[in-house]
Chain A
Amino acid sequence: MLLALIKIAVLVFVLMTATAYLVLLERWVAAWVQDRVGPNRVGIPLTKVRLWGLGQPLADGVKMLLKEQYVPSHVDKFLYTLAPISIMASALALFAVVPFGTIDLGGGYILDLVVAPGIDVGLIYIFALSSVGVYGVILGGWASNNKYSFLGALRSSAQLIAYEIPLGLGILGVILMSNSLRLEEVVNQQAELGVWFAFLQPIGFLVFLVAACAEAGRLPFDLPEAEQELVCGYHTEYSGMRLVMYASAEFIHMITAAVLIVLLFLGGWHFWGITGSEPVAGLGLGLVRLLILLGKIFLVIFLFMMVRWSWPRFRFDQLMSLAWKVMLPLGIVNLVVVAVAVEYFNDAIHERPWLASAVMWAIAIVVWVVTAIVNPRRDDTNLPRLNDELYRPDELGPPSGGYATADLTAAR
């Protein structure tokens, strides 16, 4: 119990600090991509030490704490407060089953670097809690009683539930191959095999990567809060500490997505020639493994950031057709391929994992080509239909009653 408390405290502290500094990192990356200087001023107060802007997150935190906790009068007060609390609580509590390795401290004492060791349903728990995050978004958008918020929440719910299915299908392939819902077990099997699941099921990896990115609401998929269209989306009416909760939940979601990608598909703490493949490591090796795990997570987060600052945003119909018409079929194909492979070629996979992954990649390329040929982009019924009269006024001539203008006074 005490050990669990200590682990929770350490984990929450690390997560909150990481979140604060990821905001700074994100701004640095943005500045680097856009050839700017970026935040580099805030250092130690009352001195001239700048520390490359490392004081920025602390200053931001203090500023947000000292803001007025404003609740507009037109909102549903209870839900308005409940929404950010629920989204942040679910984002944090998800880490209860995320394993960071197992260290043998000597003297027969084995330390599991996970808050709740030995949970058999870890992946289900993560899946369940990541769904709770949707409630925070929808509740916030609804309670705000603002059209931007409401539209953002609706879009967000449509997006999050659409991408939850490819996410589940991607996880299903991993479960099939490792036969376990325990994240420790999934990582151990990859280490034992010496080949990460990203190599063994490339389609599943691709589907999961895209779906996790969409679930985290990162830029190519950040329709719920598209600034140019919806101001801030579901948290337009939020300010002060409640906004901090939404913002940090967003960054925690990104960390979660990166952690899951690393654990499920990129071998967790495993790296060839450095970490070995035993489930339990000594103190020194355990720390090396932890560093490798954190390094991988950092690389995936960095990938997310680079994607954010180099890709334009999808249009909403593109987003939905990507989920339903590309990712869902690919996920089903991955499920069938992995199921057949595990059912009939399980021994072969374990004897020659690299050959197996080469075959899997060949299948993936074939599937990719087929997908490219039957690309739904050719389906131009998918394009948004604008009102023809408004769209081609010159060809059609003015409508009989003249162009319609919005009569605001009547609608009010």
Chain B
Amino acid sequence: MQTPSAMLPIALFIILATALPVGMLVAAKLVGPKKRRGAVKDMPYESGMDPIHGTRRRFDVRFHLVAIAFLVFDVELLFLYPWAVASRDHSAAGPEGVDWAVGEHLVSGRGIVFAGVMIFTFLLALGFAYDWKKGVFRWR
């Protein structure tokens, strides 16, 4: 089991890992030369050209499609993690504890879980094939 105190070093590490770049910035600010500004220096860098228009414009929808596909697959993946960890864990629910009687056959609970995951993966693959067919992954 996990105690909260086991997580303490992680919290400490995250704090220190944030403090390091902040400290680097502060040190560089103290040591480095003073800022000098100028109209040209303040311009966005566009390989020496004067910028033609601003950056905040509409951009291509294909990035959006990829993001949606990612969301679907990533969430489905997350469902598989608990199964992957617990699939052979006999301490949580013994192999006998999750058996069902179907008619006169005794069906192993693990078998049902495995079949469930396989069906889940099959549906995932089906959705993937549909996306492919629809051209979501085609980068036009």
Contacts and interface: CB of A to CB of B under 8 A. Distances in A.
Nearest to B72: A165
Interface string B45-67: 11100011111100100010011
Interface in B20-36: 20-22, 24-25, 27-29, 31-36
Nearest to A168: B77
Contacts of A161: 66-67, 70, 74
Interface in A181-202: 181
A74 B42 contact: yes
Chain B, interface SS category: helix
A70 B73 contact: no
A46 interface: no
Contacts of B88: 179, 342, 346
Nearest to B131: A324
B137 interface: yes
Interface residues of A, number: 89
A66 B9 contact: no
Nearest to B60: A154
B20 A12 contact: yes
A290 interface: no
Interface in A289-314: none
Interface string B84-120: 1111110000000000000000000010001001100
A181 B85 contact: yes
A120 B63 CA distance: 35
A343 interface: yes
Contact of A89 (B17, B56, B80, B132): B17
Q: Which of B8, B22, B55 has the most CB of A within 10 A?
A: B55
Q: Which of B24, B35, B59 has the most CB of A within 10 A?
A: B24
A96 B10 contact: yes
Interface stretch (A36-44, A239-247, A277-285, A362-370): A239-247
Given A148-B45, A164-B70, A115 B137 contact: no
Contact of B2 (A8, A119, A342): A119
B63 A245 contact: no
Interface residues of B, number: 71
B128 A332 contact: yes
A88 B21 contact: yes
A236 interface: yes
A240 B30 CA distance: 13
B21 A245 contact: yes
A237 interface: yes
A116 B85 contact: no
Contacts of B66: 158, 161-162, 320
A116 B67 contact: no
30 contacts: A1-B12, A12-B16, A69-B35, A72-B42, A74-B42, A74-B44, A88-B17, A89-B14, A92-B17, A95-B13, A115-B9, A145-B54, A147-B51, A148-B45, A164-B70, A168-B77, A175-B85, A231-B45, A237-B45, A241-B25, A241-B32, A245-B21, A320-B139, A324-B136, A328-B128, A336-B121, A342-B87, A343-B110, A346-B88, A382-B138
Interface of A: 1, 4-5, 7-8, 12, 64-74, 81, 84-85, 88-90, 92-93, 95-97, 115-121, 124-125, 144-150, 154, 157-158, 161-162, 164-165, 168-169, 172, 175-176, 179-181, 231, 236-237, 240-242, 244-245, 316-317, 320-321, 324-325, 328-329, 332, 335-336, 339, 342-343, 346, 381-382, 384-385, 408, 411-412
Given A172-B84, A346-B88, A384-B140, 15 more contacts: A4-B12, A64-B28, A70-B41, A72-B44, A74-B42, A89-B14, A92-B17, A93-B13, A93-B17, A115-B13, A147-B44, A237-B44, A237-B45, A241-B32, A317-B138
